[in-house]
Amino acid sequence: MAELTIQVPDELAQRLEPLRERLPELLQRLVETVPPRIPLPNQISSVTNPTNAPIAYTEVLDFLITRPTPQEITTFKVSAEAQERLRTLLDKNREGTLTEAEATELDLYEELEHLMILLKAKAYHLIG
């Protein structure tokens, strides 16, 4: 197995520490959702939803990049469009008609939900 060393801001390193054992898995999932061509920094603002990324994933990333306050974190919700996509995936899952790609997408929604629950719990704690 290859070893990869990257430099990240201290704040991000602290946030990643509890996920240390899962980082290879999480990076794999990220790589599977990012389109093959990464935009240059001056092109990022024009990218609203990469073709392979579920809409909720993009919305959460867009939200987190704004460095939200604890109060903003507690009130964050994905769009009605993202919620509808999740309902569709859950319905297909109940019916047993999910494709492999949809199952992967549903897994990603589950990971996002878990992340947001943890973020909101921490934010509520900070608000007091």
What pLDDT is attached to residue 33?
67
CA-based end-to-end distance of the chain: 44
What pLDDT is attached to residue 74?
94
pTM tops 0.85, yes or no: no
Q: Where are the domains of the chain?
A: 54-128
Which residues have CB under 8 Å from 52's CB, separation 6+? Answer: 32, 33, 34, 35
Tell me the pLDDT of the chain (128 aa) as tens digits: 778 788 878 888 888 888 888 888 877 777 776 554 444 343 333 344 444 678 888 898 889 889 999 999 999 999 999 999 999 999 999 999 999 888 988 988 888 899 899 999 999 999 98
Q: Hey, what are 72's tokens?
A: 């903003």
